[in-house]
Structure 1
Amino acid sequence: MQPSPSAETIGPVLPRLDIDVAIDALYGALYYRLLVSHEPLSPEYARTVVDTVFPGLCAAALA
């Protein structure tokens, strides 16, 4: 398993970031997996969710 990039590597979050939507994006994937698809939650899956969602929250993603 690869380590997640640090905030210093990716850069600052978007200034107009809606933190509630960001939290929904992270938790929504976990709850869906647990309650709808009934697949197990694992550290690897959680890492994949964070690695997928976090770059989209950062200003560098727009550059």
Structure 2
Amino acid sequence: MALDCCNEHDIVAMKFTSAIAPLYEDLRQIAYDSETGVSGPALPVQLDSIVRQLVSVMDVRFQDLWV
């Protein structure tokens, strides 16, 4: 199995990323479709900030998740 060569931390990071990516895209689409007053490049920056805060609370190094 391909995951046999990964350590437990890598597997957790991959699972987290696979869970967060669709949520991030859904939030992005909802925000673009709504009248939040946030538009253009500011929206991805704000969503990125939210994801960073969530990762920080979970005490997982951000760079480990998005490599």
TM-score normalised to structure 2 length: 0.47
TM-score normalised to structure 1 length: 0.49
Q: When you count helix as a share of all residues, which structure comes out higher? A: 2
